[in-house]
């Protein structure tokens, strides 16, 4: 029981206090408790048997009310409202007890108003914590606040932001945000260029946390920093950033020549179409690589329109290559690559590779109108070196058929201007043993063999004036010796030599 102080001062006017009054006082002292301290009280006797008693007593403990947020993080101010109705509060003790614990731990002891102390929650385990405050007054009476339960959450949100290196048009700035504690309260996205002030793009309080950005309102070609700040309900925050360049220039670049699949020889010209609006084109580089996986090698760089360059392929291995154009433009020298163009470099040496005879609709075994012979070169021939101005369409020449030996010959040959000499190994009978001129029609075409182009020339016999009859029943072989004047489009001469008809020996006529 709390002690009390009672003091008595009696003044007797006329006579002493009666024995009955003293007995009453004794009973009161007995009932009030074991400790007795005299206090400032008055006792007055006016007439015998009449007494007045006054006492100043404190039986009321102080009150305490603790205010704590439902979620706490970092350092939190704990406010206690401590009051005492009769005397005054001398100290306040704030205690904590984590969920599942049995004992209370003192957080702080406050000895003067305001009854406030700071609680560093960073060392606390995550989860629920109970708090209470106990106030003590000047006569050591105590009062404890109701229990307050709060949630400790010092786990910061996770946040990340990924942007493409270049932004154009309207884009979504879409961060990834999560919080495993109290949950996400808000997400703010800001941007700035250089060291300028941050500009808030948007603030979101519910997922999705993305914002739409019209980049046409920003400075074209400038680099911008983007920042995402996420806060959870407990007040923890985390940030992430990314950088991107605004690119609203309409730019294009493409190789206009050669086309895809072209066969290149010598020193072909590569032309490029390039544009940038707004913006200035600094240069256009033409690059090539072997196949589709090799390293890119710059062929040339052009700084003025029209953009073109010469590619010397004469010493390159025959095979497939890819070309691309790389345009450099804008104030920050950004680059744009064209689509690749696949081409074939053909440095195959020019030579005669085959000759074949095909009987026409006339008499089998007789050289007559409609019989034809096809001459195949190893690569593409400049047809103008076979016949001036010729491009491959039907053209007329006069061939000469020459016998050898007697009436029955074992070798005859056909001289074809521009193509060379065609020799027969079969016996052919000619009644007059004379030389005959035969009208011949030439046509040419390009064929692909093993992915590389070759020129084929077909010579079709016109009317044969005399009867040249194959009398040898056995099959034979044709031999072709070019004139030696043939050239490739890039000027490479044909290799000298004679080629033999491929495949099984046949009648030819």
Residues 407-452 have pLDDT tens digits of 444 567 889 999 999 987 766 666 655 667 889 999 999 999 888 8
Residues 324-361 have pLDDT tens digits of 999 998 877 889 999 999 999 989 999 999 999 888 88
pLDDT band of 364, cuts 50, 70, 90: confident
Output the pLDDT for position 5: 37
25, 125, 155, 184, 256 from 249: Cα distances, Å: 104, 54, 44, 38, 22
pTM of the model: 0.49
32 preceded by a cis bond (ω within 30 of 0): no
Residues 300-314 have pLDDT tens digits of 999 999 999 999 999
DSSP 22: H
| Domain architecture of the chain: domains with CATH | 4-53 (no CATH), 63-152 (2.60.40.10), 158-246 (2.60.40.10), 250-345 (2.60.40.10), 352-500 (no CATH)
% of the chain surpassing 70 pLDDT: 83
**What are the E-state strand segments in 36-154?**
36-37, 41-45, 51-53, 63-67, 71-72, 75-83, 89-98, 105-110, 116-120, 127-137, 142-144, 148-152
Q: What's the mean per-residue pLDDT of the chain? A: 85
Take residue 455 and report the two structure tokens written for it. Answer: 């020129």
Residues 126-169 have pLDDT tens digits of 999 999 999 999 999 999 999 999 999 999 999 999 999 989 89
State the DSSP H helix or E strand holding residue 26, giving kind and residue range, or none if neither: helix 19-32
385 or 427, higher pLDDT? 385
SS3 25: helix
């Amino acid at each position: 029981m709390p002690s009390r102080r009672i003091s008595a001062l009696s003044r007797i006017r006329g006579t002493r206090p009666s024995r009955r009054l003293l007995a009453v006082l004794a009973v009161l002292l007995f009932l009030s408790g074991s400790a007795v301290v005299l206090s400032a009280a008055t006792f007055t006797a006016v007439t015998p048997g009449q007494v007045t008693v006054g006492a100043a007593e404190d039986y009321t403990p102080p009150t305490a009310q603790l205010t704590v947020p439902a979620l706490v993080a970092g350092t939190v101010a704990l406010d206690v409202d401590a009051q005492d109705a009769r005397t005054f509060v001398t100290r306040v003790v704030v205690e904590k007890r984590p969920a599942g614990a049995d004992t209370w731990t003192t957080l702080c002891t406050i000895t003067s108003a305001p009854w406030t102390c700071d609680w560093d929650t960073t060392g606390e385990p995550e989860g629920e914590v109970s708090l209470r405050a106990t106030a003590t007054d000047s006569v050591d009476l105590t009062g404890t606040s109701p229990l307050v339960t709060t949630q400790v959450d010092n786990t910061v949100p996770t946040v990340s932001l990924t942007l493409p290196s270049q932004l154009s048009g309207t884009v979504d700035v879409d961060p990834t945000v999560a919080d495993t504690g109290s949950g996400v309260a808000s997400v703010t996205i800001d941007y700035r260029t250089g060291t300028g002030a941050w500009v808030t793009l948007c603030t979101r309080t519910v997922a999705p946390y993305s914002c739409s950005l019209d980049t046409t309102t920003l400075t074209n070609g400038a680099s911008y920093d983007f920042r995402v700040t996420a806060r959870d309900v407990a007040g923890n925050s985390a940030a992430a950033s990314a950088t991107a360049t605004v690119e609203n220039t309409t730019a294009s670049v493409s190789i206009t020549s050669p086309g895809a699949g072209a066969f290149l020889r010598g020193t072909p010209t590569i032309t490029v179409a390039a544009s940038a609006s707004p913006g200035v084109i600094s240069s256009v580089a033409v690059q090539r690589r072997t196949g589709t996986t090799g390293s890119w090698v710059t062929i040339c760089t052009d700084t003025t329109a029209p953009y073109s360059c010469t590619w010397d392929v004469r010493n390159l291995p025959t095979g497939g290559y890819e070309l691309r154009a790389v345009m450099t433009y804008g104030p920050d020298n950004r680059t744009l690559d064209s689509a690749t163009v696949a081409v074939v470099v053909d440095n195959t040496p020019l030579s005669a590779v085959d000759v074949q005879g095909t009987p026409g609709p006339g008499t089998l075994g007789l050289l007559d109108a409609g019989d034809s012979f096809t001459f195949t070169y190893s690569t593409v021939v400049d047809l103008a070196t076979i016949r001036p101005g010729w491009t491959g369409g039907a053209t007329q020449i006069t061939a000469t058929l020459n016998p050898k030996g007697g009436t029955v010959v074992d070798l005859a040959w056909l001289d074809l201007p521009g193509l060379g000499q065609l020799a027969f190994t079969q016996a052919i009978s000619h009644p007059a043993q004379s030389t005959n001129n035969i009208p011949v029609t030439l046509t040419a075409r390009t064929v692909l063999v093993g992915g590389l182009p070759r020129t084929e020339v077909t010579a079709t016999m016109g009317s044969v004036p005399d009867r040249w009859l194959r009398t040898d029943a056995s099959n034979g072989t044709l031999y072709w010796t070019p004139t030696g004047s043939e050239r490739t489009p890039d000027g490479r001469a044909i290799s000298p030599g004679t080629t033999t008809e491929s495949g099984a020996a046949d009648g030819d006529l």
